[in-house]
Structure 1
Amino acid sequence: MEKRWVIHEPENEETVCSLMESLGVDRVIANLLVQRGITDFDMAKAFFRPSLDDLLDPFLMKDMTEAVDRIVSAMEKQERVLIYGDYDVDGTTSVALVYTYLRSRFDFIDYYIPDRYSEGYGISTKGIDYAAENNVSLVIALDCGIKAMERIDYANTKGIDFIICDHHTPGDDLPQTVAVLDPKREDCTYPCDALSGCGVGFKLMQGLSIKMNWPFGDLIPLLDLLAVSIASDIVPITGENRILTYFGLKQLNNSPRVGLKTIINLAGVDKDLSVNDIVFKVGPRINAAGRIQSGNRAVQLLVAEKKDVATLIGDTIDGLNEDRKELDHSITDEALQRVASNKALLEKKSTVLFDRDWHKGVIGIVASRMIETYYKPTVILTESNGFATGSARSVEGFDLYNAISECSDLLENFGGHKYAAGLTMKIENVGAFQKRFEEYVCENITHDMLTPQINVDAVIKLSDITPKFFRVLKQFEPFGPKNMTPVFVSEKVVDYGYSRPVGRNKEHLKLSVVDDIREGNVKGGIAFSMGKFYPKLSSGVPFDVCYSLQENEYMGKTETQLMVRDIKFE
């Protein structure tokens, strides 16, 4: 599939030169910093040297005082408290974090994770009934609840107070609760509005520690959970999130809780864990519990204190992850085949597929995988409780939420944002939805949106990649949204004579390239699934290469290699 390279224009020359001088870095590094909003020495110092002292005051968040006071009151009166959270990674890490912090200080505490299939997302009637039956008078809801007006009203009739800790965009009205902590509230001036749900829970515990004069150091062991949440929920890793992720990764790599250590071992990560490792290896295993069985399993693992208990639960969850992968692959293959064999579907600018037998727990993953092959807005639907329910994913630049909103009269409910959404409709409405969704996409999508895009930070020479350059570049970590791994383009490179196809079917390329044979700046690289380029490349034809940089260790030797994203011949 052809990709479109969008090369970032150079930043303000005066600001770049000022940073070059004050930091002693080259132009490329200074330009990368300015792209990330870092324009002076003090900002650069805070970026390169994160400090927990720079965490924001939790009481800047609207309703924080009320939330903390209500927890203190519950502790003093020995009320029963329930920690309630969603069944995904953000929800289960949120519950584990708050439960872990409070259980060492408070005896009357329990947690609850709703069932994906019988209760669905968010606060459920069943969950409230469980609280009432167990004499719970305060529920701390994490990563959900911001739009649960009717359920909160029901809880109020039962005499159950709620503290909502959410990070999703609120509706026009807020639930009638003791406190609603959500930095996306219009009346909340908290400086970091991009916290994960677990991040909001952490700020609540930080506020409680300040109120009770408990040591801040007691919060640090919780940061491993928070790093997993931030990475898995794909929130911007800037500002406070970057500080929390930086120290959370330190906790994960130096002294992770026994449950996370079990998952890391099962994932086969034998080096320092990165955000990428969390996203692709740790997070999916935690998610698998809620997708295939119950999110309770994930929390049990994350709060486990004994290695043998964690190992037993971890093995179960790893097995569920294998089931998840099998379902994911089989349904994806079926969906891809359905499109490939249908000319009408191939010609559409959107993909909407429905199958009664597809597993609800993996259809979001399937929607994402479909876009990897057919780069167009995609909705995957299955049957659940007599309705067609599903997940939608978008492509760069196209507002999926608006497209679904245009079909709202056909839907029972929907929610989400620009690039991802969930929706439910009557099964008899699927055909009408498919038609109207396609019409909206055709009217509003552009050709560029239908072409995969690679955002390029800078065009550089291979000679720019010095040991010092790479050392500074590594200090940009942790990478993530709003601070992505820098992507470069080097133009008119040629094979140095040692490039070769690799892989079982010779589908990959091991590169050895130069951009000036006289200078001999030979760089090695790996280009996955690009073996098809070898005949032309090996003939000596110049080409442009798009890549990021990675440290590669082999036979005791460490070198910087190109991780190739794309190749274009002149």
Structure 2
Amino acid sequence: MRWTIKPKSNPNEIDRLSKELNVDALISHLLLQRGISTYDEAKRFFRPEISHLHDPFLMKDMDKAVERIESAITQNENILVYGDYDVDGTTAVALLSSFLQESYPNVATYIPDRYSEGYGVSLKGIDFAMDNDFSLIIALDCGVKAIEQVDYAKEKGIDFIVCDHHRPGDALPNAIAVLDPKRDDCKYPYKELCGCGVGFKLIQAMALRNGNTIEDLVPYLDLVATAIGADIVPITGENRVLAYHGLQVINANPRIGFKAIIDQIKKKELTITDVVFIIAPRINAAGRMKHGQHAVNLLKETDLSVAQKFASEIEQFNADRKNLDKEITEEALQQIQENDEEERFTSVVYSESWHKGVIGIVASRLTEIYYRPTLVFTKSGDKLAASARSVKGFDVYNALEKCSDCLEQFGGHKYAAGLTLLEKQYENFKQQFEKVVAESIDPKLLEPELAIDAKIDLDQISPKLMRILKQFAPFGPGNMTPVFMAEKLNDTGYGKGVGEGEKHLKLSVVQNRSMAIGAIGFNLGQKLDRVTEKSSFEAVFSLDENEWNGQVSLQLKLRDIR
């Protein structure tokens, strides 16, 4: 890994902020790195308040969206809440439909089938709306590029409201309202909302119009926090407020569907990391293995015994997903090894038998192993569909845009995207994508970067430091867990490999005459020799609490050693 230490903050600024906040220089440095330089900014960071959320009517078209929904309710129209099949889409559909159904019964939900309809707004979904007398479709986490589909709906007498957070194309769909903070003409102050976050702004606007307060909407924040974590959007600004309070709901008073999942995993207090790696994959598994509607049903269920039945079904979907993803990853790795005679800047693999529901996960795994922009293709009807994943610092969406003459459809973000193309275009696209990446990527981005916040000495580590660092949570893009580096460390003689095949590294380390501190390095077992040969070493780590036999102690969570 390529170790890079972030620039040291200005010493005068560190000194000023330390005095202003009455904290030590290390904390001030970490805050300044996160763009926090005043007492008020620090207060907002450490104590995110619901009142810090922006006025939803600052979002372009919000007034039109609210007026059209109110008109639908007044006219007794049928409303269809439509959303993508991933976590962001299913949580958004559960959020908006349950909010509307609190006071209005004529609301139904629709999640497209991943296999027969694919991503986004489908003509089949619009036909369903027409056949069942829906005159308003509200699309969540999709729709900003659905120009033809929205026109088709209009011909059938169906209006659209689009709530999306993906980058729009050159033109917007002809909808009643297009809520998307990434619109060029949208002056909304925070641009990084997820799809469920945009849905939340819509219910916030409706609640304000009806004289409710933002506090009335707090029970919905468990859904928003889950979507924020799963969609890997920055946990800064408004997302930090939503995630912070949403985690409190998940841990104190989660909706019945979440309770059913949490009861199965038997974990006390969930962090945003637990949401990403425990709750989100289970919600996602429904759309991957069966149908996303299963996830919506679980998230809206109010009877615990029914929710537990749904949760155990989803648990089985997740187990099946794990087996498939392991099997396909092994096949994809073999394909890469067979095709890698010459140096490549990308990994592009394809098998018509691969399960479409797990190709995104497989793409992520391959990116971790080979660390280069990666696409995993499978057959989808008469076309090929792919999931794309990128490496830190490289915009795969832009790279796909430069290959758009080969593509039927594409959409997504800087680091994750989806696309479809005709099979005859596959080889042509593969060559073009390799050429685009080779010509535009900085070669150093092909080596994983380990970004270090600060060098510290072991004697700076204390329970007080840990207490303050815990208040930096929730962690995520834009506010990652603080990572430190320490030099001239020595193992005290207790170093050993642990776990299956001794693939993890367990140490007790000292620095000069410091107190010994425990350390654990997951998947670093192969580096045991480097620390037990009595020479000193450097380590990069975050701080962690280790609970054993009821005792809690601080330990280093190793990222790398050299």
TM range (shorter): over 0.9
Residue-by-residue CA offset, 1:457-513 (whole Å, 9 max, x unaligned): 111111111111111111101111100101111111111222222123222111110
Letter in 1 for 2:315: D
State the distance in 2 between where 1:152 and 1:186 align: 20
Equivalent position to 1:489, from 469, 485, 488: 485
The within-5 A match list for 1:168-317 is: 168-266=166-264, 268-317=265-314
State the distance in 2 between where 1:273 and 1:113 align: 28
Match of 1:334 in 2: 331
Q: Secondary structure at the match of 1:129?
A: helix
The within-5 A match list for 1:368-447 is: 368-447=364-443
The within-5 A match list for 1:457-536 is: 457-516=453-512, 518=513, 520-536=514-530
Q: Secondary structure at the match of 1:536?
A: helix
Greater shift, 425-434 or 353-362, is seen at 425-434
Alignment gaps of 5+ in structure 2: none
What is the deviation of 1:552? 1.3
Q: Is the 8 A contact 2:50 2:214 kept in 1?
A: no
Match of 1:344 in 2: 341
State the distance in 2 between where 1:425 and 1:76 align: 44
TM-score, normalization by structure 1: 0.96
Match of 2:33 in 1: 35
Letter in 2 for 1:349: F
Match of 1:538 in 2: 532
Letter in 1 for 2:554: T
Match of 2:546 in 1: 552
Q: Secondary structure at the match of 1:183?
A: coil
Q: Secondary structure at the match of 2:246?
A: helix
State the distance in 2 between where 1:62 and 1:445 align: 35
Q: Secondary structure at the match of 1:43?
A: helix
State the distance in 1 between where 2:17 and 2:340 align: 55
What is the deviation of 1:82? 1.1
Q: Secondary structure at the match of 1:505?
A: helix
Residue-by-residue CA offset, 1:104-146 (whole Å, 9 max, x unaligned): 1001111111111111111111111111122112111111111
Q: Secondary structure at the match of 1:463?
A: helix
Greater shift, 528-537 or 326-335, is seen at 528-537
Match of 1:321 in 2: 318
* TM-aligned CA distance change 1:423 to 1:270, over 3 Å: same
Letter in 1 for 2:400: I
Letter in 2 for 1:565: R
Residue-by-residue CA offset, 1:169-200 (whole Å, 9 max, x unaligned): 11121111211111111111111111111111
State the distance in 1 between where 2:215 and 2:329 align: 46
Q: Secondary structure at the match of 1:110?
A: strand
Residue-by-residue CA offset, 1:314-362 (whole Å, 9 max, x unaligned): 11111111111111000001111222344526x3222111111111111
Match of 1:124 in 2: 122
Q: Are 2:111 and 1:113 aligned?
A: yes
* TM-aligned CA distance change 1:510 to 1:217, over 3 Å: same
State the distance in 2 between where 1:411 and 1:162 align: 26
* TM-aligned CA distance change 1:343 to 1:138, over 3 Å: closer
What is the deviation of 1:215? 4.3
Letter in 2 for 1:63: D
Letter in 1 for 2:113: D
State the distance in 2 between where 1:176 and 1:428 align: 32
Count of residues in correspondence between the two structures? 562
Residue-by-residue CA offset, 1:263-308 (whole Å, 9 max, x unaligned): 2223x24121111011111101100111111100000000001011
Q: Secondary structure at the match of 2:372?
A: coil
State the distance in 2 between where 1:325 and 1:193 align: 34
Root-mean-square deviation (CA, aligned residues, Å) is 1.4
* TM-aligned CA distance change 1:209 to 1:406, over 3 Å: closer
Letter in 2 for 1:566: D
Alignment gaps of 5+ in structure 1: none
* TM-aligned CA distance change 1:211 to 1:343, over 3 Å: closer
Greater shift, 415-424 or 322-331, is seen at 415-424
Q: Are 2:60 and 1:62 aligned?
A: yes
State the distance in 2 between where 1:64 and 1:400 align: 31
Greater shift, 529-538 or 153-162, is seen at 529-538
Residue-by-residue CA offset, 1:26-83 (whole Å, 9 max, x unaligned): 1111011011110000110111111111111111111111111111122222211111
* Ranges of 4+ aligned residues in structure 1 off by more than 3 Å: none
Q: Is the 8 A contact 2:50 2:215 kept in 1?
A: no
Letter in 2 for 1:329: K
State the distance in 1 between where 2:370 and 2:500 align: 26
TM-score, normalization by structure 2: 0.97
Match of 2:8 in 1: 10
* TM-aligned CA distance change 1:402 to 1:206, over 3 Å: closer
Letter in 2 for 1:271: K
Letter in 1 for 2:471: Q
Instruction: State percent identity of aligned pairs.
Output: 52
Q: Secondary structure at the match of 2:323?
A: helix
State the distance in 2 between where 1:426 and 1:53 align: 49
State the distance in 2 between where 1:181 and 1:429 align: 34
Q: Secondary structure at the match of 2:79?
A: strand
